[in-house]
Amino acid sequence: MVVLVPAYEPDERLVALVRALRCAAPDVPVVVVDDGSGPAHAAVVAAAGRAGADVVTHGANRGKGAALRTGVAHVLRAYPGQDVVCADCDGQHLVRDVLTVARRVADGDAAVVLGARRFAGDDVPARSRWGNAATRVAFRLGTGRALQDTQTGLRGYPATVLPWLLDVPGDRFEYELSVLLRAVEERRAVVEVPIATVYLDQNSSSHFRPVVDSVRVYAPLLRFVASSLVGFVVDVLGLLVLTALTGSLLAAAVGARLASAAVNFGLNRRWVFRRRTRGPLLREAVAYALLAGTLLLAGYGSLVALTHLGMPLLAAKVVTDLVLFLVGYRVQRTAVFRQATRTTTDRAAARPHDPATGTVSAREPGAVAAHDPSPSGSMTG
């Protein structure tokens, strides 16, 4: 097992974490990825190295997601076959909880193990409590999967899924949510183990920017909303234009709906559900058309049923469209625009080769190993 700690502008809490981990589990390597913290924090990073950490450095800040991928790539190269537990550098993950997650990973029946906080008590900052609650609700609505803590930084991954982590997009805080979305989409097992909820100084050391980074976290759903709005505008404008040109409301309605569906399909395929590898265009187009037809019939049936039960038409329309919006998002993400399967050979071909040895390098571009002790090869916890 290897503990991976991404660090941006860390303080002495990083050094304390490394020392505590090395003391509690001497055989467990600790990899610290310095994400371009700069000269002002070089002394802290160096102290972490002296405390026993294997330090890998980004020349400039690239974001937490990029730092995690760099760390995973380094583990694949320097510590092959080892599981990974990721922990934050700000002292909010207790060593005993890190080792608890490690033991759960060692059970081998999950692709992702989350250290889940409970967010109870007056010491939890309001932005953290409400931010996690909002993400938890959005995640369940978008995936149908209930998780207690979707934003935890304490996560464990078995060695077998590490190459898969390199394929997950996102360079900043959105990366960790993308991992969960992709895991649920691919039906990989995700389990949670309870950990302590620790916030120091009202989480003042966090680099999470509430507005900018929240937009990144919710980006997939926000893109879907934007695509749906564009489709709606095209539908309305098309209806008006075609009615004026043809004089036929039926022809205008059908033509406008076909035009808006084509625009929505193209946006969803290229922009909303962005994939490194896509499925065949014809298959996705047919699946999209079948889904659109099914949702149209379901919407009509829902309106008839709800109004028959006494619900006002406007309320029935709002409820129906909201449910079908969420269903459409989930089906398009998991079935219509699902990522094409990549083989191990494909992944290897996508990674740079080491010209000196002719072997595939797992190191992320731009990462420099500053302190690279020999791997112990042993596992603890």
Q: What does the domain layout of the chain look like in residue ranges?
A: 2-217+342-369, 220-336
Which residue, 334, 336, 342, 341, is CA-closest to 187? 334
Q: How far apart are CA 278 and CA 172, in angstroms?
A: 23
Angle between the N-to-C axes of helices 126-143 and 219-246, in degrees from 0 to 180, rounded to the nearest 10: 50
Q: What are phi and psi of 120, to 5 degrees?
A: -110, 150
Judge if pTM exceeds 0.85.
Answer: no
Lowest mean pLDDT among 18-32, 324-338, 342-356: 342-356
pLDDT one-digit tens code per residue, 222-261: 777 788 888 888 888 888 898 889 888 788 878 888 898 8
Per the prediction, the chain carries an average pLDDT of: 80
54 SS3 class: strand
Please report the pLDDT score of residue 207 as a whole number: 45
Does the domain spanning 2-217+342-369 belong to CATH 1.20.1070.10? no
Distance CA 71, CA 3 (A): 10
Query: Helix (H, G, I), strand (E, B), or coil: what is residue 357?
Result: coil
Of 76-85, 158-167, 213-222, 271-280, give the lowest mean pLDDT range. Answer: 213-222
- Residue listed under structure tokens 């934003």: 151
CA dist 9 and 42 (Å) reads 9
- Token code pair at residue 222: 């926000």
